[in-house]
Structure 1
Amino acid sequence: MSMKNTALPRIEVLRAQIRRGDTTHEALVSRALASAELPAARHVFTRLHADAALAAARHADAALKAGVQLPPLAGLPLSIKDLYDVAGETTLAGSVACRDEPPAAADAPVVARLRQQSAALVGKTNMTEFAFSGVGINPHHGTPRNAADAQVARIPGGSSSGAAVSVALGLAVAGLGSDTGGSIRIPAALNGLVGFKNTQARVPRVGAFELSRTLDTVCAMARCVDDCLLVDAAIADAPLAVRRRPAAGLRLAVPQTLVLDGLDATVAHAFDRALQRLSRAGVLVESIPLTELAEIGRLNAPGGFSSVEAFAVHRQRLATRRAEFDPRVAARIALGEPVSAADYIGLHDRRRDWIARVETRLQGFDALLCPTVPMVAPPIAELAASDEAFFRANGLLLRNTFAINYLDGCAFSLPCQAPDELPVGLMLSSVRGDDARLAAVALAVEAVLEGEGA
């Protein structure tokens, strides 16, 4: 079932290999760029930045040879989701409706911060059009194939589809993406990666093509929690003050409302296995009702933040170029058109009250725990052929992750599948501003899942 593991080692391992002289930054980036042209990587990138990436790698090699202490990401290949501005390029955001629009005048701040770290930015990655789906199918630029299955072409998850596959295939040590309803955590879960959705306010959204200003979050995915934290420190321009702790004594809450409904067999078995391992490691796993989760669908109507705010962004494009949109994306954006200003203000008021109630419920717990998504990645063909199948899968993929965006919280997705299973994500979540403490929990849980803390 699984493809050959071509992923790059974790950043700490790569750095040690480079220091020993086993490889160079230039060799790593050259290999990534060559692999990006292979059939397995078809549709992963919308644009490669080969010359700039190689220049960054060579600069890092020269600096290391001269005895300069390098930033953690210096000279290493990273990918950028195609909704971030890069100076001199038109930001397509997975669409063709923007191709005639002016190029960006400057890099988005997060892109500039990665350049300041001397990261080798290998290219822009494909995505769901305008970031508006958790599936990852793109009718304009093609759909990157999930790297986990050599026999069946499965969805990569979205909207950061190319970002996930770029990391899973070893084309990048990390993929800069975004998360509005799960767009980092869903593809991370379906591709066997770690995804970190930070608190929205932590990283600036300037220069990122907007889907929902209320929910959009700038974040990344990588091979492990530590690597996600290195990227987060760079794009936030400040590292989290993470105080590492053992797994024993952690108190984790498993909601019994909504998030455990309709799990497929692989996800259910993987989740149960993870709970057993955590319990054996001394983690206190407690079931809680958290019935507030069942309120989200009602409170987020009519339209919902994403549809209302996306319609404001795309109103003119829809009026003049709707035929160039993915019809499924256009239909979801159009749901925001009839929503009144009074209804929109009501969305904010209800959300604010809900957040306060849920934050109270979660006091005393170190994190919420649930499956990231309730299913393994379905085949692309099934969802491409049927609107009914597509929207049913999209709703399920987004169900658990969206709750944390609605909470304005932070979350990690960690892989928890067995070696012979398709990837399954385990989601750890907490309230807004709790990123550093949640990161410590994620590191401890990751160690248990990898057999180091059991």
Structure 2
Amino acid sequence: MPQSNTPVRDRLEEILARLDARRDRERAYVKLYTESARAEADAADRRRQGGATLGPLDGKVVSIKDLFDVAGEPTLAGSIIRRNAPPATKDALVVKRLRDAGAVILGKTHMTEFAFTAVGLNPHYPVPGNATDENLIPGGSSSGAGVSAVEDTCDIAIGSDTGGSIRIPAALNGIVGFKPTASRIPLDGAFPLSPSLDSVGPLARTVTDCMLADAVMAGDPMASVVARPIAGLRIGVPQGRLLNDLAPEIAKAFADSLDRLARAGARIIDCRIDDLMERLWGATRIGSIAGLEASRIHADWLSDDAALADERVKGPLRRRLAVPDEAVAALLETRRALAVEMDERLSPYDLLALPTTPIAAVPIASVETDANEYDRVEGLLLRNCQVANQFDLTAITLPMPGQTRPAGLMLMGRNGADRMVMEAALSLEALLRNS
């Protein structure tokens, strides 16, 4: 993190120099806005010299996922199919709000094709290896976002989360990732995957930076960053399948984290939500909500056998396209009803706590050519995270300390409890760092 007296332009040039040194093997970024970023950095420095500021994001270097519109260019969303798409006529609303707040938009980051998969592989681009070990998967779909934030080529990365696509790469790379309540941040100018589930949020090395970026993108005033005391918090721990198949190191770190919370005065309470999840999973036997909605968005090219798309995207979406619209509408109504039930179920708790993912990052080589292993890994990565999307909750992941490979602790809150979740995470972040 740059010091407050470091000129923004100096900070930017240091990043650009590092990116230029690896330009022939760049994996985290798919496009850089070098000249406009320099102009934005210079403007931030001029404001600072004149004693003015546009707020706490003024001069922060920000990367954006490759699904946000930038005026004058096609929005690729990780796909070569869209290289000839019409250029965007204006910036996505969140990009505009970030610029208006003084953020320096450095570039667009790597993502899985159309944000549909969670491991981090995209056949059209080199895999951005995990920031802690380039031989490990980065997690997806906001793969380059997670890497860019950890490797310090940005201060804050902006991603999207439909089933864990912010929290998975944040957890696997060892940083903070926040998924807001879906309606909190506007999706205008963000290429959709699943309009019912999509949300936009930040990845950063600190909860504070995530809180600041969230407030700007949501258009909310934020006078100060305030931590919520841990003492007295009622934290539910869902017993059952969400705690199954944990890697031993993650199971231990999760137990240690709960112990620290309890010693800080939180009430740790077992709870049960498996029945609600099973009812939703039963309804999705016809296909996942994300896959069904995405199949309608991509119907124009799905019938083209020659379309150059990732088979991990094309195959599932083609199958979902055959599901009748009436069945999709019925599924979405079931989901809405179950979200209401989940909200009632969670009313006795301030937060839920879970491991963000039950496993840490695996070697890229283990999933590149083995379809069964790929499916196993992806299923585990999505399992815990997707609960927040499916039931319209908010969630944040924090790095758990002492891990050989990074792993995350996830806090989930009820719909609309975004600020409370972030304030509690601010206290938990300090607790974990001091442990």
Q: Counterpart amino acid of 1:59?
A: A
Q: 2: CA distance between counterparts of 1:60 and 1:294?
A: 51
Asked if 1:405 is matched to 2:393, the reply is no
Retained in 2: the 8 A contact 1:371–1:425?
yes
Match of 2:127 in 1: 143
CA deviation digits over 1:381-424, x for unaligned, max 9? 11111111111111110010101101111000010131x52111
Aligned residues: 432
Distance apart, 1:18 and its partner CA = 2.8
Match of 1:173 in 2: 155
Q: 2: CA distance between counterparts of 1:78 and 1:206?
A: 19
Retained in 2: the 8 A contact 1:43–1:143?
yes
Retained in 2: the 8 A contact 1:18–1:25?
no
CA deviation digits over 1:17-53, x for unaligned, max 9? 233xxx2100111111222234497311110001111
Q: 2: CA distance between counterparts of 1:438 and 1:298?
A: 30
Match of 2:219 in 1: 237
Match of 1:427 in 2: 410
Distance apart, 1:256 and its partner CA = 0.5
Structure 1 segments unaligned to the other structure (5+ residues): 1-8
Residue of structure 1 aligned with 2:4, choices 8, 11, 18: 18
Q: Which runs of 4+ in 1 moved over 3 A?
A: 37-41, 239-244, 320-323
Q: Counterpart amino acid of 2:218?
A: A
Q: 2: CA distance between counterparts of 1:234 and 1:100?
A: 32
Retained in 1: the 8 A contact 2:228–2:420?
no
Q: TM-score, normalised by structure 1?
A: 0.92
Residue of structure 2 aligned with 1:337, choices 296, 321, 346: 321
Match of 2:269 in 1: 286
Distance apart, 1:289 and its partner CA = 2.0
Q: Secondary structure at the match of 1:98?
A: helix
Q: Counterpart amino acid of 1:275?
A: L
Alignment of 1:259-338 (within 5 A): 259-291=242-274, 292-320=276-304, 322-338=306-322
Q: Counterpart amino acid of 1:126?
A: H
Retained in 2: the 8 A contact 1:367–1:430?
yes
Retained in 1: the 8 A contact 2:237–2:271?
yes
CA deviation digits over 1:155-192, x for unaligned, max 9? 10000000110001000011111000000000000000
Retained in 2: the 8 A contact 1:83–1:208?
yes
Q: 2: CA distance between counterparts of 1:132 and 1:37?
A: 30
CA deviation digits over 1:203-258, x for unaligned, max 9? 11111111001101011111111110110111111146876321111110000122
Match of 1:112 in 2: 96
Residue of structure 2 aligned with 1:128, choices 112, 122, 131: 112
Match of 1:163 in 2: 145
**Alpha-carbon spacing, 1:39–1:380, altered in 2? closer, same or farther (3 Å):** farther
Distance apart, 1:87 and its partner CA = 0.3
Q: 2: CA distance between counterparts of 1:184 and 1:240?
A: 22
Q: Secondary structure at the match of 1:369?
A: strand
CA deviation digits over 1:120-145, x for unaligned, max 9? 11100010000001111111011101
- Of residues 432-441 and 290-299 in structure 1, the stretch that sits farther from structure 2 once superposed is 290-299
Q: 2: CA distance between counterparts of 1:246 and 1:236?
A: 24
Match of 2:191 in 1: 209
Q: Counterpart amino acid of 2:217?
A: I
**Alpha-carbon spacing, 1:297–1:411, altered in 2? closer, same or farther (3 Å):** same
Q: 2: CA distance between counterparts of 1:57 and 1:118?
A: 9
Retained in 2: the 8 A contact 1:407–1:431?
no
Structure 2 segments unaligned to the other structure (5+ residues): none
RMSD (Å) for aligned C-alpha atoms: 1.6
Distance apart, 1:345 and its partner CA = 1.5
